[in-house]
Amino acid sequence: MQLRIVHTTEFAYDGAASASYNQARMTPATSPEQIVLHHRIDVTPAPWSFGYRDYFGNNVLAFEAGDPHESMKVVATSTVQVNRAEPADPSTPWEAYGERDVADRWTEYLDLPELVDPPTDFLAEVRAVADVAVLPGAAAREICRLVHEAIEFQPGATDVSTPAATAWKQRAGVVQDMVHLAIGGLRAIGIPARYVSGYVHPVASPVLGETVSGDSHAWLEWWDDGWKGFDPSTNAAPDDRYVAVARGRDYEDVPPLRGIYSGAETSQMTVSVEVTRIS
């Protein structure tokens, strides 16, 4: 499946911003499962910019506008060819996760900061799942199912800084919360897990040429003799409708746009994502 994605972010300042400094992680990743055919980021007013790869290998565009401006518009346009393989069955045994090749190599994906730290009652359910699972990959899928069934998708129930424990307590949140909660559960039983940001075409069977309103999305990957993707919000592995952009320990490593500005007191941000299947 070939998808075109137009991700637009606009800022309106209360008065003129004298300068702004930003980082954009809006460039899809190229991998065996997806090839970026075209990508560009247009910023108005025209900034000074440079690109680099961060610690996790994500493409980052850093840019700054040094002249006074009352608004800023960032448009990321991407065309991506996606061809995901069928997910492989679990294969890595429990004992492998204690070996250096896994535990040391992926140590940053085993940490439990507040954003993903699992609450006590959720952790008890996670350990009960692990105790009866023959293979860790089977436990991982069951933990994602547990999160999927327990958390009601409720926009506005949380924000980007809300810990997973809060979403679990209120049994409500957004996709990011489900991913954080599942990541925390997996790490707590020794399975390296990482956060994936990106997009998904919201229609199960996309119509060629039809542009639909989408949104930024998130899912996770755990280590099982390779990284295996899974979406707790749908309780399914990503298919060809999914486009991965960035990977990290949690959302803090992969926000689409992050920055600071000076001069104006406040700003208002609006975001839109349009997705079109083009082949």
pLDDT digit string, tens, across residues 24-64 = 999 999 999 999 999 999 999 999 999 999 999 999 999 99
Residue 251 in this model has a pLDDT that exceeds 90:
yes
Tokens of 93: 């045994």
Residues, the chain, total? Answer: 279
Q: Give the whole-number percent of the chain exceeding pLDDT 70.
A: 100
Question: Any idea what the Cα angle at residue 73 is, between residues 70 and 77, rounded to 5°?
Answer: 175
Least confident residue range of 3-7, 64-68, 231-235 = 64-68
CB 77 within 8 A of CB 276: no
Residue 118 in this model has a pLDDT that exceeds 90:
yes
CB 62 within 8 A of CB 260: no
Q: What domains are defined for the chain?
A: 2-83+256-277 (2.60.40.2250), 94-253 (3.10.620.30)
CA 75 to chain centre: 19
**pLDDT number for residue 238:** 98
Query: What are the φ/ψ torsions at residue 111 (nearest 5 degrees)?
Result: -70, 155
Encode pLDDT of 160-214 as tens digits.
999 999 999 999 999 999 999 999 999 999 999 999 999 999 999 999 999 999 9
**pLDDT number for residue 265:** 84
Three-state secondary structure of the chain:
CEEEEEEEEEEEEEEEECEEEEEECCCCCCECCEEEEEEEEEEECCCEEEEEECCCCCEEEEEEECCCEEEEEEEEEEEEEECCCCCCCCCCCHHHHHCHHHHCCCHHHCCCCCCCCCCHHHHHHHHHHHHHCCCHHHHHHHHHHHHHHHCEECCCCCCCCCCHHHHHHHCEECHHHHHHHHHHHHHHCCCCEEEEEEEECCCCCCCECCEEEECEEEEEEEECCCEEEEECCCCECCCCCEEEEEEECCHHHCCCEEEEEECCCCEEEEEEEEEEECC
pTM for the predicted model, two decimal places: 0.97
Q: Scan for tokens 């979406």, then name that residue.
A: 231
Mean pLDDT of 65-75: 95
Cα 27 from Cα 244, distance rounded (Å): 9
pLDDT tier at 86, thresholds 50, 70, 90? very high
Q: Give the whole-number percent of the chain exceeding pLDDT 90.
A: 98
Tokens of 197: 């940001």
Residue 266 in this model has a pLDDT that exceeds 90:
no
Residue 11 in this model has a pLDDT that exceeds 90:
yes
